[in-house]
Amino acid sequence: MKKLFKIILNIVPRPLLIRLSYIVRPILSFFFKGNTYTDPIDGKSFSSFLPYGYGTQRNNVLSPSTLSLERHRLFWLYLKNETNFFQPEPVSGASKLKVLHFAPEQCFIKRFRQLKNLDYTTTDLLSPIADVKADICDLPFEDNSYDIIFCNHVLEHIPDDTKAMQELFRVMKPGGFGVFQIPQDLSREVTFEDNTITDKKERAKIFGQYDHVRVYGRDYFDKLRAIGFKVEEVDYKANLSEEEIEKYCLGKDEIIPVVYK
């Protein structure tokens, strides 16, 4: 199965994968029913999760029901337990929170749309499920427009990530916050880039995915600070027990970058 998944990920274009996954999810959920692992996003439990990865595949990480990965489930738990994002109704007299979500993940988009306290907009250059087709380096939104911005696992695809960060800062309201997760090697002090590596297999091996342009190190947080954001490096797993980490199939090394303007 690992080999089949790897072939599919590397051959089928991502927009088509997104469309096909809506058909596949109910089938996967049926075949992997069990009680060993639980997806906190929908509360469903399974005998195991699926493998995933463009380069080296990780075992037991892809939820059969929501298709969430480790980072999605950690992000969900943080939002649910540490923020007012899931508040059912706007506070009396208050406006809805304006949310901008880049490259919206399937495991979140429907659930976020249903929240009555949000004015929710999704954007991406290529995704077939995004509301607004836009280049993150040249956004069609006014200054100081959004209370909350989610931009998770996007910046590693962007050659000019400085310009993208500047645009994110521009469209965020003063007092707003965001979560900008990236694949990060916490053992690296400095981010690594090498545009001379053009072979897809080699790029997948070095960068984790053939269409990534860098491997972020710990200096990622300081780069965000240099743009103007206040940054909290949240190790949310430290709030969870070993049993919860195992049950939800969470990653071992994941710092959530929570930013404020």
Of the given ranges (24-33, 102-111, 234-243), which has the lowest mean pLDDT?
A: 24-33
Give the pLDDT score at 8. 46
Most confident of 25-29, 151-155, 208-212, 248-252: 151-155
pLDDT digits (tens, 9 = 90+) for 156-189: 999 999 999 999 999 999 999 999 999 999 999 9
Architecture of domain 73-260: 3-Layer(aba) Sandwich (3.40)
Which pLDDT does position 26 carry in this prediction? Answer: 56
Q: Which pLDDT belongs to residue 12?
A: 47
- Dist CA 241 CA 112 (whole Å): 27
Q: Please, what is the average pLDDT of the chain?
A: 87
Average pLDDT over residues 135-142: 98
- Tell me what the mean pLDDT of segment 142-150 comes to: 97
Q: Which of 145-149, 205-209, 237-241, 250-254 has the lowest mean pLDDT?
A: 205-209
Report yes or no: 46 and 33 within 8 Å, Cβ to Cβ: yes
Domain extents in the chain: 2-68, 73-260
pTM, rounded to two decimals: 0.86
- List, for residues 107-138, the tens digit of each pLDDT value: 999 999 999 999 999 999 988 889 999 999 99
Q: Which of 26-35, 57-66, 215-224 has the lowest mean pLDDT?
A: 26-35
